[in-house]
């Protein structure tokens, strides 16, 4: 049972309500059609160890507020860090002046999809132990001990460990009457070993596949089977160092969630952000092949493919109660039985396509700091399991000649989210339905629709896991957001496999 937490008193003691009243009252004087106020405090702590010793630790805190307005059909935005009502009034006036200048250059007037009013709503993410409440010495000792154990194992030249911790508080208010106060916690722990095969000179690494999560410090103690995963890392690395190089060609693939989440992120998550599909967003690898004229007809993948967007998934990295436009978060279909049926929306994007989601945003607005404007950001985009689907072992048993893929590593995708290739932490040869040792130098390559169209089966609920990342980039100036992607182990037929060493020589 998850502990219920209150909003941290050190946040609620800050004067954000007075600042909001001053800023919104001043914005109203200019007859704006919309104004909102967002106050944030985001605290970060990163710890890094190497070979059992502390390598570095850092703490940071970002505190400030932002005012956003719509005036004469144009956006205006400004932010500040001086926490006085007078400063809040000045920031509101700057936002209004920005909108006044922008209005002359705005061809399509900004309009926001309607949203109910939420009066003083409060939401706190699901966690047990606030990681920033744990003494630094205790956290360093835990990481150093695990790193030292890894370094002491045979064949390991070096080991490293790290944990990124974030505690984020936000207050939102708008002229319509919505006010929300939220708190969420997230962690990204990682351990890795490095080694060399003396006979061949091959150098490589092996990393844990434990995902980042929206949980507290309990994830590092009793919330995951760290002992088992750490114990097998040196052996997995030793096998990888002497594994044969893959023969390029066509293979059936069984892909574990620890790898498949990243393929979902790049080829489905970003491709179904509506601002990309409409051509408004072209940073960080471009727009999208999944354009709105193909909604309801695009065969994205096989009938086994059912993908949802979800801002409510427990422990998801993109999970909140209300987004940065005061929208209550939801879950919805993006791909149903292989066909594109939905997009991720914020309020301005939702207004452009009133036939989607009943003309309402599905809660996908987010700003990564008080100094940045809220933009459309990715939900927890997840591939659903088959309720009666097979276990991972059964999926492997269906393969005569193939590869089993575990863990994420590098990736590449084109400007339309269409042509891609992915590598992984480890690859196992599959012969006659059985694993037959690791392979090296493997990358799988396909177009988005060919790859998802080749998906023959998805595993059952017992194979479904939540993966994700802290570092999803978008926009200009760039913003970084965290996001999770759940998926089951899945079987793909006849996928092109590249030998990365051979390709590097071309």
Distance CA 502, CA 506 (A): 7
- Phi-psi region at 387: left, alpha or beta (left = phi > 0; alpha = psi -120 to 50): alpha
Residue 126 is encoded by which pair of tokens?
């699901």
Residues 6+ apart with CB under 8 A from 1: none
Distance CA 398, CA 20 (A): 60
pLDDT of residue 284: 74
- The stretches in the chain having pLDDT less than 70 are 1-2, 506
Number of Cβ atoms within 10 Å of the Cβ of 35: 26
Distance CA 175, CA 193 (A): 53
264 φ, ψ to 5°?
-60, -45
pLDDT of residue 138: 98
0.85 exceeded by pTM: yes
Structural domains in the chain plus CATH codes? 9-241 (3.30.2290.10), 249-504 (no CATH)
């Amino acid at each position: 049972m998850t502990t219920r937490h209150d909003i941290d008193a050190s946040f609620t003691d800050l004067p954000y309500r007075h600042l909001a009243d001053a800023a919104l009252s001043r914005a109203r004087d200019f007859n704006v059609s919309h104004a909102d106020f967002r106050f944030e405090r985001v605290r970060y702590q990163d710890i890094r160890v190497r070979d059992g010793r502390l390598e570095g630790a850092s703490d940071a805190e970002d505190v400030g507020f932002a005012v956003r307005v719509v005036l004469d059909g144009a956006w205006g935005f400004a932010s500040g860090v001086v926490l006085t009502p007078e400063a809040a009034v000045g920031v509101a006036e700057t936002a209004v002046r920005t909108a006044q200048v922008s209005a002359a250059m705005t061809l399509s007037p900004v309009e926001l999809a309607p949203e109910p009013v939420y009066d003083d709503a409060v939401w706190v993410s699901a966690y047990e132990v606030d990681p920033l409440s744990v003494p630094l010495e205790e956290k360093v000792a835990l990481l150093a001990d695990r790193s030292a154990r890894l370094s002491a194992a045979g064949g390991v030249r070096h080991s490293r460990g790290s944990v990124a911790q974030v505690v984020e508080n936000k207050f939102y208010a708008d002229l319509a009457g919505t006010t929300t106060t939220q708190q969420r916690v997230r962690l990204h722990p990682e351990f890795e070993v490095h080694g060399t095969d003396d006979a061949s000179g091959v150098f490589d690494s092996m990393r844990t596949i434990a995902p980042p999560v929206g949980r507290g410090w309990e994830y590092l103690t009793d919330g995951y089977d760290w002992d088992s995963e750490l114990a097998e890392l040196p052996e997995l690395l030793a096998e990888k160092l002497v594994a044969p190089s893959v023969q390029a060609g066509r293979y059936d693939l069984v892909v574990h969630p620890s790898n498949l989440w990243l393929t979902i992120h790049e080829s489905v998550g970003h491709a179904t952000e509506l601002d990309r599909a409409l051509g408004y967003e072209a940073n960080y690898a471009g727009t999208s092949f999944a354009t709105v004229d193909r909604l309801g007809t695009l065969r994205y993948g096989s009938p086994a493919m059912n993908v949802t967007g979800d801002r409510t998934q427990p422990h998801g990295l993109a999970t909140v109660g209300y987004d940065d436009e005061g929208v209550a978060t939801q879950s919805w279909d993006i791909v149903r039985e292989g066909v594109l049926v939905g997009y991720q929306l914020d309020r301005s994007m939702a207004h452009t396509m009133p036939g989607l989601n009943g003309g309402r945003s599905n809660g996908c607005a987010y700003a990564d700091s008080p100094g940045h404007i809220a933009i459309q950001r990715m939900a927890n985009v997840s591939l659903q399991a088959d309720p009666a689907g097979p276990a991972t072992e059964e999926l492997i048993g269906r393969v005569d000649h193939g590869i089993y893929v575990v863990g994420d590593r590098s990736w590449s995708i084109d400007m339309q989210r269409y042509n891609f290739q992915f590598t992984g932490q480890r690859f196992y040869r599959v012969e006659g339905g059985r694993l037959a040792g690791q392979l090296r130098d493997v990358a799988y390559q396909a177009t988005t629709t060919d790859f998802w169209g080749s998906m023959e089966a998805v595993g059952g609920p017992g194979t479904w896991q939540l993966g994700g990342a802290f570092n999803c980039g978008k926009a200009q100036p760039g913003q970084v957001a965290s996001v999770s992607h759940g998926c089951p182990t899945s079987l793909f037929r006849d996928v092109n496999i590249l030998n990365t060493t051979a390709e590097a020589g071309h």
